[in-house]
């Protein structure tokens, strides 16, 4: 009994103020004393005082207080990650106990193209593995700070290094020209980049970060296209894919996104010209959240569905 009591005293000695930790987490997540105070229902001065109390206890600076912004120091990032993760787990337990619902909810964010071509089929398989799982999807166009969004994981295309989460590689990408078999039957098979550049192309507006235009693709492969012929422009990649399947022209095919369409023969490759991208697709779990067995299963399903061994 004495040992247990000593342990409790030691714990309180190391973490003397849970209030300070709660208020620091809000400031670190929102990057604002004002917004943190509004969320917590206290004054800005009180929040600032609690954060300074933590800094004095630890003997380190947790925040760089810039003119119109706050930036976490290295020590602040370490503390925020642990505190946020712990609070997230506690909040999850409170939610389950208070509602009496044992179902797990998985909140995912991704682009519309990835959701349409890659995610939906894997979500179906995931729900078969976890029958009580509830999934909520949110569509993103540009990379948003995960500290400002209540998601369990986000799919991103990039170099795998983001300050707001831990990245898990899904798969790399290659991009090449694709069209329908009917288009080849009607127009013939272009053999070179120059011949390809003279064909009727389908373009989709590069509204997402990391997206690739026809001009960029040609130049990356050493081609010097003149004025390209666009028979159709779309805002959505899904519309471009459907137009290509319907035989309306040639589009840029992302190999992992269109894996099933290529395997089925709905779309076929044109020429051997292939651009292997430096960036790749990642699942990113926000700092403060642990990768769960459900997310691990989803990663495996996504890789398998995209033809990654």
- Tens of pLDDT, residues 173-199: 999 999 999 999 999 999 899 999 999
pLDDT band per the 50, 70, 90 thresholds, residue 80 = confident
Note the pLDDT of residue 264.
95
What is the assigned CATH class of domain 172-277? alpha beta
How far from chain centre, in Å, is Cα 180?
A: 31
The CATH classification number of 105-171+280-305 equals 3.40.190.10
Common-topology check for domains 2-82 and 172-277: no
Q: How far apart are CA 209 and CA 133, in angstroms?
A: 30
Alpha carbon distances (Å) from 50 to 46, 82, 96, 290, 298: 6, 18, 30, 27, 40
How do the domains of the chain map onto residue ranges? 2-82, 105-171+280-305, 172-277
| Bigger pLDDT: 14 vs 112 | 112
How many other C-beta atoms are found inside a 10 Å radius of the C-beta of residue 159?
12
Q: Is 21 exposed, middle or buried (0-12, 13-18, 19+ CB in 10 A)?
A: buried
- For residues 242 and 234, the answer to whether their CB atoms sit within 8 Å is no
pTM score above 0.95:
no
Residue 4 has pLDDT above 60, yes or no: no
| Residues 136, 141, 146, 150, Cα dihedral to 10° | -30
**Domain 2-82, CATH number (from 1.10.260.40, 3.20.20.70, 1.10.10.10, 3.60.40.10):** 1.10.10.10
Q: Which residues pair with 284 in a beta bridge?
A: 154, 167
Measured between alpha carbons, how far is 170 from 276 in angstroms, rounded to an integer?
15
Look at residue 265 and tell me whether its pLDDT is greater than 80.
Answer: yes
């Amino acid at each position: 009994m004495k040992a247990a009591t000593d342990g409790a005293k030691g714990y309180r000695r190391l973490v003397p103020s849970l209030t300070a930790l709660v208020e620091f987490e809000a400031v670190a997540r929102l990057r604002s004393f004002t917004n943190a105070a509004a969320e917590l229902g206290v004054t800005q001065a009180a929040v600032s005082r609690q954060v300074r109390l933590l800094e004095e206890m630890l003997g380190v600076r947790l925040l760089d207080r810039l003119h119109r912004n706050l930036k976490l120091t290295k020590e602040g990032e370490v503390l925020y990650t642990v505190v946020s993760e712990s609070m997230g787990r506690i909040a999850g337990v409170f939610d389950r106990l208070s509602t009496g619902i044992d179902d797990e909810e998985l909140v995912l964010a991704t682009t519309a193209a990835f959701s349409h071509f890659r995610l939906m089929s894997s979500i179906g398989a995931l729900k078969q593995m976890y029958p009580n799982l509830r999934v909520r999807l949110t569509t993103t166009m540009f990379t948003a700070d995960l500290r400002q969004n209540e998601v369990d994981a986000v799919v991103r295309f990039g170099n795998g290094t983001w300050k707001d989460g831990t990245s898990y590689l899904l798969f790399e990408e290659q991009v090449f020209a694709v069209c329908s078999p009917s288009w080849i039957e009607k127009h013939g098979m272009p053999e070179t980049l120059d011949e390809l550049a003279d064909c009727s192309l389908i373009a989709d507006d590069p509204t997402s970060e990391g997206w690739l235009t026809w001009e960029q693709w040609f130049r990356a492969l050493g081609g010097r296209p003149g004025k390209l012929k666009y028979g159709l422009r779309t805002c959505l990649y899904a519309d471009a894919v459907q137009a290509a399947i319907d035989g309306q022209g040639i589009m840029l095919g992302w190999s992992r996104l269109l894996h099933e369409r290529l395997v089925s023969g709905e779309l076929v490759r044109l020429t051997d010209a292939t651009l292997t991208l430096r960036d790749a697709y990642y699942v990113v779990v926000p700092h403060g959240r642990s990768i769960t067995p459900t997310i691990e299963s989803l990663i495996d399903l996504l890789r398998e569905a995209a033809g990654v061994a």
